[in-house]
Structures are given as C-alpha cells and as structure tokens.
C-alpha cells in the first residue's frame, strides 16, 4: 500500500536538485505501476478501502497523470519558465499526488477530506506558475473559494459523523460502516450533513451558483493544471459524491434524486448559457467540464452506474487531452488547426485532436456516446418508476435541450479550428504526440466489450 506513495515522494525530493524533465516524467509515470497492482488486489482496513470503484478511479487518474507528465517535458519551452518555477511546480505536483491518493483510497470521511484539502492547497501554487497578474489573482481566488468549499465539506462530514457516533462510535467516520448501518443512524442529521457536504463538492466542481470561478482559474493557469483539475481532481471529488450518495440512497432515495436533479438543471442552464456566450475556447472546455460532471451526477443518482463511470473515465481522458493540445493549437486565444500546424509533416496530430474534439460531444464511437445512451435510459427508468412521471420527462427534455446548445457551440469551435487562423508555423514536440496517443488509446480501450463488462461489474 505504501509503495504507491513512493513516486510522489520521489518527485518532491528530486525537485530540490537540478531538474531533468525526462527523468521527472519517468518518475511521475511510475505511479501507474502500484495503481495497477492495487487495481488487481483490492483490500479494506480501518482507514483505507480499495474496492473496484476507487481502484478504477485511481487507475484512470494515474493514466491521466502519465499524460500530464509527458506534456510537462515540453512545458518550459512553451512558457519560458525558469528553473526555480519548474522545481516548485514538480514539488507541488508530488504533494498533489500524495493528497490525491490518500483521498481516493480513504475509507474514512475525515481522511478523504484531509487528502482532498492537501491536493487543493498544492494546486494553488501550480496555478501561479505562469507569471501573470491574472494567474496571481486567480491563485488567491482559488485559495479563498476552494477553502470555503472544502470547509463546507468538512462541516457536512462533522454532521454526518454526529448522526452515527452514538451507534457506531469512531466507526461513524467509515464509509463502509455507515453504508452497512444506514438504517440505524439519525436520518435527519445525516441528510443535512450530506446536503452541506455535497454542496461543497458541487461548488468545488463549479456547479451553480459558482459556475465561472473554476473556468477563470483554468483559463489563467497553465494547461497541465487545467488538465489535472478536469482529469484527476474532479474525479476524486466525484468519488466522494459516489460514496456519500450510496449511503444517502439507503437513507432516502427520493430526496437524493430531487436534490440532484434540481441542482443539475440549474447548473446546466447556467453553463449552457455561458458556453453559448463565451468566445474563448479554453473557457468553453472548462465550462463543458461542469456539464459533464452534472451528467455523471444525474446518471449516478438515476441508478445508471455503468453510464456514470464510463462517462467519468471518458471525460477524464478527453478533457485533459484537449487542454494539453491547446498549447499546440492556440492562436490568438482561438483553437486553430490551419495555421498552427502548417509545415508540420505529421498529419497524425490534427487527426487525433479532431477525434478528441468530436469525442467530447459524444459523436460515435466515442465512449461518451454509449454512456449518454445508457445514462438517459436510466433517467427514463427513474421517470417511469416515479410518481411524478410528467415532471421527470419534462426535466429530461430540458436537459437534452440545454445539451444541444453546448453541442452546437462545440461544432462551431471545430469548424473555426478547421477554417480560421493565420499561417503561423508552430512546433509540436514528440512528448506531446506521445501524450495524445496515450489518451486516444486509453479512450479506444474504454469501448472494448471486456472493459464494458468490467465497468458494469463495479457496482452491482
């Protein structure tokens, strides 16, 4: 178990010496080895729980981590970073991994929170690696808003702990014990705590009413940070939501469905409006991340676990790939294939990026196409079983309508990328091609029948 922390500790130690970027990428990529080992050997103890769900999330996160590490080899050339800034970036990248692994593997709500807070705080410095006033301001904003969101999560955890302390003692912190004894705990107190914690999670992921704070931060920071946010941190937060919502389902499913649907529709309304209005493609990608988290939330609470997990994995690969490819294609704050890659003989890069861009809007054979089909089926099943059939159908219709606005915007971005832009040649590094290939292969692996079967078996 402790082996999994070695790459992150090594990263922190090596960051104090002269940096060899290829070595750092190799060291941070090592995370995938223990992640695969843990994936194959689940276990549970008082503080940590490795089941199919979190070992799957850890594996996805470690693949994203490898992709980000690869892209970081060429990062200083792209941004003209000095040695000291690179050292500090790797130091906090190591701390980020450390906190994140604790959070993903935790079987204890308190330890989950500690890991998440650790990862959150370590990203603050990574935001301001880019030396600009906007990045400085966004780092402070992230510290303040992120701290409030994470405090709400802790507030909720304390109430949930209080709801079961008399029955379970210190085990009331334990996800597993809480789920097992859901019938014995103080339901009212648990639900209040759950609502507050989930609101904290939602704020951290940029849900209503804090839709723009994360998008602004992702725009102001460097692309690998945006990739870490969308591919890893959001998956870890979502895992916390999965764990708590499974307990809430045992306490009161209808409250969970009503709360999540109302929150989701408000968020989706705001996000689709903002995506329609925004002109900047990075902000569009960041806002679309919120849209996908909303979809995962409603698929999950509707009982579409397969759809939610497939969507989570697909989003974790697609979005970081798009963010990281932005450094190759960005031209005057626009995404452009035409000018940016002129003179570059390898046509593979534009082809891969095109596939990824079309994949994020669920064009088949993207895994998102399948996840949305199964997700909407789960939502219709919930509507059929509900006493409020027409209201539910109306809600699903509204969600589809809002999604179509986002679909339209992404098609526009794709068309602009194809036909607009000036003829300014830009270099593409080998590490970036390797990163794109890694994400594309991972995405293709998701649509294999064996992987479908595995994901379906995660939550029985």
Identify the residue among 74, 108, 267, 297 touching other proteins (CB under 8 A). 108
Q: Does residue 192 touch other proteins according to CB under 8 A?
A: yes
Residue placing its CB nearer to other proteins in the complex, 84 or 423: 84
Report the candidate in 318, 286, 281, 284 with the shortest Cα–Cα distance to residue 420: 281
Q: Does residue 217 touch other proteins according to CB under 8 A?
A: no
Residue placing its CB nearer to other proteins in the complex, 30 or 152: 152
- Give min distance, CB of 191 to other proteins, in A: 10
Q: Does residue 107 touch other proteins according to CB under 8 A?
A: no
SS3 17: coil
- Tell me how far apart the alpha carbons of residues 115 and 406 are, in angstroms, rounded to a whole number: 33
Residue placing its CB nearer to other proteins in the complex, 168 or 312: 168
Residue placing its CB nearer to other proteins in the complex, 136 or 426: 136
The site string for other proteins over 148-187 (x = CB under 8 A, - otherwise) reads x--x--xx--xx-xxx-xx---x-xx------------x-
Q: Count the neighbouring beta carbons within 10 Å of the beta carbon of residue 6.
A: 14
- Give min distance, CB of 170 to other proteins, in A: 5
Q: Does residue 143 touch other proteins according to CB under 8 A?
A: yes
Q: Which stretch binds other proteins (CB under 8 A): 22-30, 107-115, 315-323, 400-408?
A: 107-115
Strands 330-331, 43-44: pairing is unpaired
- Tell me how far apart the alpha carbons of residues 106 and 115 are, in angstroms, rounded to a whole number: 8
Q: Does residue 128 touch other proteins according to CB under 8 A?
A: yes
Question: Considering only residues 9-68, where is the footprint of other proteins by CB under 8 A?
Answer: 47
- φ, ψ of residue 106 to 5 degrees: the values are -65, 140
Q: Does residue 313 touch other proteins according to CB under 8 A?
A: no
Report the candidate in 182, 184, 206 with the shortest Cα–Cα distance to residue 194: 182
Identify the residue among 35, 64, 139, 212 touching other proteins (CB under 8 A). 139
Q: Which stretch binds other proteins (CB under 8 A): 114-122, 267-275, 318-326, 428-436?
A: 114-122
- Give min distance, CB of 256 to other proteins, in A: 19
- Give min distance, CB of 129 to other proteins, in A: 10
Residue burial 440-457, b: 16+ Cβ < 10 Å; e: rest: bebbeebbeeeebeebee
- Give min distance, CB of 7 to other proteins, in A: 20
Q: Does residue 132 touch other proteins according to CB under 8 A?
A: no
- Give min distance, CB of 139 to other proteins, in A: 6
Q: Does residue 136 touch other proteins according to CB under 8 A?
A: yes
Q: Which residues contact other proteins by CB under 8 A?
A: 47, 88, 108, 110-111, 113-114, 117-118, 121-122, 124-125, 128, 133, 136-137, 139-140, 143-144, 147-148, 151, 154-155, 158-159, 161-163, 165-166, 170, 172-173, 186, 188-189, 192
């Amino acid at each position: 178990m402790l082996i999994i922390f070695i790459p992150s500790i090594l990263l922190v130690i090596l960051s104090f010496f002269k940096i060899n970027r290829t070595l750092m990428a190799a060291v941070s990529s090592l995370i995938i080895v223990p992640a695969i080992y843990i994936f194959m050997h689940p276990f549970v103890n008082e503080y940590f729980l490795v089941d199919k769900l979190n070992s799957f999330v850890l594996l996805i996160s470690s693949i994203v981590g490898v992709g980000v590490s690869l892209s970081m080899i060429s990062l200083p050339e792209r941004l003209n970073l000095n040695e000291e800034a690179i050292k500090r970036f790797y130091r906090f990248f190591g701390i980020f991994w450390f906190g994140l692994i604790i959070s993903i593997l935790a079987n204890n709500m308190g330890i989950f929170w500690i890991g998440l807070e650790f990862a959150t705080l370590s990203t603050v410095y990574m935001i301001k690696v880019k030396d600009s006033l906007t990045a400085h301001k966004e780092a402070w904003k992230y510290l303040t808003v992120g701290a409030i969101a994470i405090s709400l999560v802790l507030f909720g955890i304390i109430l949930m702990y209080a709801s079961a302390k008399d029955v379970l003692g210190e085990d009331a912190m334990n996800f597993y014990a809480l789920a097992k004894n859901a019938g014995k705990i103080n339901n009212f107190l648990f639900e209040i705590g759950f609502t507050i914690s989930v609101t904290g999670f939602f704020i951290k992921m940029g849900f209503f009413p804090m839709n723009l704070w994360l998008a602004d931060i992702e725009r102001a920071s460097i692309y690998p940070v945006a990739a870490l946010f969308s591919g890893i941190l959001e998956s870890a937060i979502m895992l916390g939501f999965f764990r708590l919502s499974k307990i809430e389902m045992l306490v009161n499913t209808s409250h969970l469905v009503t709360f999540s649907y109302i929150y989701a529709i408000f968020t989706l309304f705001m996000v689709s409006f903002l995506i329609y209005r925004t002109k900047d493609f990075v902000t569009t990608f960041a806002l679309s991340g919120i849209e996908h988290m909303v979809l995962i939330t409603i698929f999950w609470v509707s009982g579409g676990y397969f759809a939610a997990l497939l969507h989570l994995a697909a989003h974790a690969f697609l979005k970081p790939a798009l963010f990281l490819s932005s450094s190759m294609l960005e031209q005057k704050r626009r995404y452009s294939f035409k000018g940016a890659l002129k003179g570059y003989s390898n046509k593979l890069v534009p082809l891969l990026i095109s596939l990824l861009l079309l994949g994020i809007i669920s064009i088949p054979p993207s895994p998102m196409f399948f996840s949305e089909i199964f997700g909407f089926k789960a939502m219709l099943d919930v509507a059929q079983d509900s006493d409020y059939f027409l209201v539910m159908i109306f809600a699903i219709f509204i969600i589809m309508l809002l999604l179509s606005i986002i679909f339209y915007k992404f098609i526009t971005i794709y068309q602009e990328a194809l036909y607009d832009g000036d003829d300014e040649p830009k270099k593409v590094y080998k590490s970036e091609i390797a990163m794109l290939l890694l994400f594309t292969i991972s995405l293709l692996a998701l649509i294999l029948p064996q992987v479908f079967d595995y994901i379906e078996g995660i939550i029985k």
